[in-house]
Copies of this chain bind each other. A is one copy, B any other.
Amino acid sequence: MERVAIIGASMTQFGQREGEWITDLLAEAGIECLGDAGVDADDVDHLYVSNMASGEFEGQTGVPNALAHDLDAMPAYTQRIDQTSSSGGAGIYAAWQSVASGASDMTLLVGGEKMTHKTTGEATDVIASLTHRAEYKTGVTLPSFAGLTARHYLERFDAPRESLAKVASKNHKNGVDNPKAQFQKEVDVETILESPIIADPLRLYDFCPITDGSAALMLCPESVAKEYTDEYVVISGIDGATDTHVVHEREDPTVMGGVVESGKGAYEMSGLGPDDIDVAELHDMFTILEFLQMEGLGFAEHGEAWKLVEEGYTERDTGELPINTSGGLKSKGHPLGASGVAQAVEIYEQLMGEAGPRQVDAETGLCCNVGGFGNCVITTIMEAAQ
């Protein structure tokens, strides 16, 4: 089967986008991606929108149709993909399927979310509605799971609290060089350790912010890609997998089954293994998640990711496997439907040599997008091609 290529990518400024609607953000990224790929809107066959909750956040639904209108892409087929906080990764998988199945020769995927006009309480209420009804009712929301898991991890593996702070500190440092990031400032380990407690032992700076933003990718068959450009990126492996919806039913809280299974599928499809990956974007919604993904994806042994972080293995300029060169969700921000797409935008730019001051030496990259507390995970492996 012919490989699926990515020939264009874009993202808007992430942060607080006051006075703009979700439709504005989607259109901005969509138009920029059409330009980046050199594709006319008329040539787009499928137009996919990754978005969790425009209805809940803005009382606006049908945003894929609004986007088709704003890009003047009719009669391109359009639909919305929602897989909560992994809607972006799910969108990549859906866009990949649209091309690989032959249904579309040119698929524009745009992910976005507009959240900051809501109070933090309102926004987290919407996000919390993805958890199991029984857990939700008892107040065990995603941050609580993160706190419980972090405490268990630190105690069980004898890891220092500082190792988690070092994840946040590293990602903030990377974000300084990302002009699209919500926060472009360094935050040192001491500041993180002294920030307000949210879910003990996790503190404010262990959590990603609430963000507005949008990101986009243009996918097509490799043969079509060659008509547009000499250099592009291919998706060589992709898979998605669920874990239990009831988080407390999991056998080992430090193992995310969805990460393990989707990673396994993506590696198998690409023929690559963890050692072959040059750069990765992991879903650091909470610092502890970066450890769990490093381990689930085979970058570290179980219980030992913290050691690699301590050793600087994941640092951008000096580490063997730079993780979250974009700044991650932690510093770049986490507009739900956009985040998984933006991960792939960063890997695309790294593989194309377009990452500017964040550039690392990479021919292969991996994104891991986590829905809920690992309820559904999509892993994507990308390779530079020409």
Residues of A bordering B, CB below 8 Å: 1, 21, 23, 47, 52-53, 55-56, 59-62, 64-66, 68-69, 73-84, 90, 93-94, 96-103, 126, 129-133, 239-246, 257-258, 261-262, 371-372, 375-376, 378
Which single member of B61, B96, B103 contacts A130 (CB below 8 Å)?
B61
CB pair B65 A82 closer than 8 Å: no
Using A56-B55, A242-B68 as known contacts, say yes or no to A80 and B81 having CB atoms under 8 A apart: yes
Using A53-B55, A61-B126, A97-B98 as known contacts, say yes or no to A242 and B132 having CB atoms under 8 A apart: no
CB pair B103 A97 closer than 8 Å: yes
A130 partner residues in chain B, CB cutoff 8 A: 61-62, 65
16 CB contacts below 8 A, A to B, read A1-B102, A53-B55, A61-B82, A62-B129, A62-B371, A65-B245, A65-B371, A68-B242, A68-B245, A69-B246, A74-B244, A75-B261, A78-B240, A79-B90, A93-B103, A100-B102
User: In the assembled complex, how far is the CB of residue A140 from the closest CB belonging to chain B, in whole angstroms?
Assistant: 14
Assembly stoichiometry (copies)? 2
Q: Which residue among A52, A97, A129 has the maximum number of chain B CB atoms within 10 Å of its CB? A: A97
List 4 additional contacts besides A62-B245, A77-B239, A79-B90; criterion CB under 8 Å.
A21-B133, A60-B133, A75-B242, A75-B243
User: In the assembled complex, how far is the CB of residue A24 from the closest CB belonging to chain B, in whole angstroms?
Assistant: 11
User: In the assembled complex, how far is the CB of residue A145 from the closest CB belonging to chain B, in whole angstroms?
Assistant: 13
Using A53-B55, A65-B242 as known contacts, say yes or no to A376 and B78 having CB atoms under 8 A apart: yes
User: In the assembled complex, how far is the CB of residue A375 from the closest CB belonging to chain B, in whole angstroms?
Assistant: 4
CB pair B83 A79 closer than 8 Å: yes
The complex places the Cα of A61 from the Cα of B123 at a distance, in Å, of 13
Q: Which residue among A59, A102, A245 has the maximum number of chain B CB atoms within 10 Å of its CB? A: A245
Closest residue on chain B to residue A265 by CB atoms: B77
The complex places the Cα of A59 from the Cα of B137 at a distance, in Å, of 12
The complex places the Cα of A56 from the Cα of B129 at a distance, in Å, of 11
